Amino acid sequence: MYEVRAPGRVNLIGEHTDYTGGDAMPIATDLHTALTAEPADHVEVSSAALDADGRFDPTGFEPDGTWLDYVKGVYHVLRADGYDPGGFRGELGGDLPLGSGLSSSASLELAVLAFLEDAYDLGIDRTELALLGQRVENDYVGVSCGVMDQFAVALCRAGSALHIDTGTLASDPVPIPADARVLVFHTGVERELVDSAYNERRSTVEAALDRLGRDSSKAVTEADLAELPALERQRLGYIRRENQRVVEAKDALTAGDLDRFGDLLTAAHRDIADNYGASCPELDLVVRAAVDAGAYGARLTGAGWGGAAVAVVDVENADAVARAVESRYAEQFPHHDSESYLIEPSAGVTVERQSRS
């Protein structure tokens, strides 16, 4: 029997950078997906969160538009790369909320990938597993996403953020000062425009890079920006500054300077709101309320247009900030189903083999 624990992720800074080879710096969450599984001929898997189960033959299956496609997608990408893992009998549990901006989808993919890798000795390292997870979404489920989520879930270390260069795929841990806490506040806003807005932003900056003949947003100079049409200049200008902020934020964390780190987060929020157009009144209020209540800094996290915001707070006033944000939010948006989580920066996916008793 195998016990797999796959975290979710929260991005601290470096938003909308992971599809142009830019930098990002997420943490893995203590909230996690648990998978208890053992090898079998078929795949038979149940999900406690959805009170559902499914079964398929790992050598022949079709997508069915349900959650099971994330599991089938894992077999799809592995088989496309020439691997031939057998099936498994498994139960999905854990406490990671689904669809709350903590990337339960990447967590599920990596839980299944890491189990199969271990149980069937596939010999695939964690970086490759992360890239396979991204392909599950891109090629099988049909969700356009960068590599950040899967990298965080696969490679984070406990007590650290993970600096990722999404161009070179180099990643390294950045220790987080012990007195810092990470507060995530989900606005309860699910905007239908997220997918279309994400795709629109993505094609705008990809067009800008094409026009400049650059293959990474990190190679873009001020002089390059001046050559672009106004909208492309505005969008890519944000990404260029965001990449620089990630590097500064890494230095600030390394130096234990949480004031500086927080200021960078709040500046990142202003910039993504003003120049990438990815915020909304709910997210703006959460950021303002958190900073007013004494957070080091705050910003939207994830794609934006709803979803969640993240605030970095001192352990001493973490609860007070959370309560202050909750009450201001409830006053302003009484009908939104919001939720807040205090996150412990945790390790990436782990697999333990339990001996039978």
* Region binding ligand ADP by CB under 6 A among candidate stretches 44-52, 266-274, 330-338, 345-353: 44-52
In the list 3, 42, 44, 49, the residue contacting ligand ADP (rule: CB under 6 A) is: 49
Amino acid at 27: I
In angstroms, rounded to a whole number, what is the distance separating the alpha carbons of residues 199 and 166? 18
In angstroms, rounded to a whole number, what is the distance separating the alpha carbons of residues 103 and 99? 7
Structure tokens at 309: 């915001």
Partner touching 49 among Mg ion, ligand ADP, none, CB below 5 to 8 Å by kind: ligand ADP
Binding string, 54-93, against ligand ADP, x = CB under 6 A? -------------x--x---------------------x-
Task: Please state, in angstroms and as integers, the Cα–Cα distance from residue 322 to each residue in 14, 125, 213, 283, 310, following that order.
Answer: 23, 38, 45, 14, 11
In the list 12, 108, 280, 290, the residue contacting ligand ADP (rule: CB under 6 A) is: 108
In angstroms, rounded to a whole number, what is the distance separating the alpha carbons of residues 265 and 191? 23
Residue 284 annotated in active site: no
Partner touching 47 among ligand ADP, Mg ion, none, CB below 5 to 8 Å by kind: ligand ADP
In the list 100, 105, 171, 243, the residue contacting Mg ion (rule: CB under 5 A) is: 105
Which residue number is nearest to Mg ion in terms of Cβ? 105
Partner touching 98 among Mg ion, ligand ADP, none, CB below 5 to 8 Å by kind: ligand ADP
In the complex, least distance from residue 164 CB atom to ligand ADP, rounded to whole angstroms: 18
Are 36 and 350 in contact by the 8 Å Cβ rule? The answer is no
Token pair 């079998």: residue: 40
Q: Tell me: does residue 347 bind ligand ADP (CB under 6 A).
A: no
Amino acid at 53: D
Q: Tell me: does residue 301 bind Mg ion (CB under 5 A).
A: no
SS3 93: strand
Are 302 and 145 in contact by the 8 Å Cβ rule? The answer is no
In a 10 Å sphere around its CB, with 0-12 CB exposed, 13-18 middle and 19+ buried, how is residue 144 labelled? Answer: exposed
SS3 27: strand
Q: Tell me: does residue 33 bind ligand ADP (CB under 6 A).
A: yes
In the complex, least distance from residue 41 CB atom to ligand ADP, rounded to whole angstroms: 22
Pick 105 or 217: Cβ nearer Mg ion: 105
Binding string, 181-220, against ligand ADP, x = CB under 6 A? ----------------------------------------
In the list 40, 50, 193, 231, the residue contacting ligand ADP (rule: CB under 6 A) is: 50
Catalytic residue among 18, 30, 149, 271: 149
Pick 18 or 232: Cβ nearer Mg ion: 18
Nearest 5°: the CA angle 102, 150, 48 is 50
**Torsion on CA atoms 258, 264, 270, 272, rounded to nearest 10:** -120
For the annotated catalytic residues, the residue numbers are 149
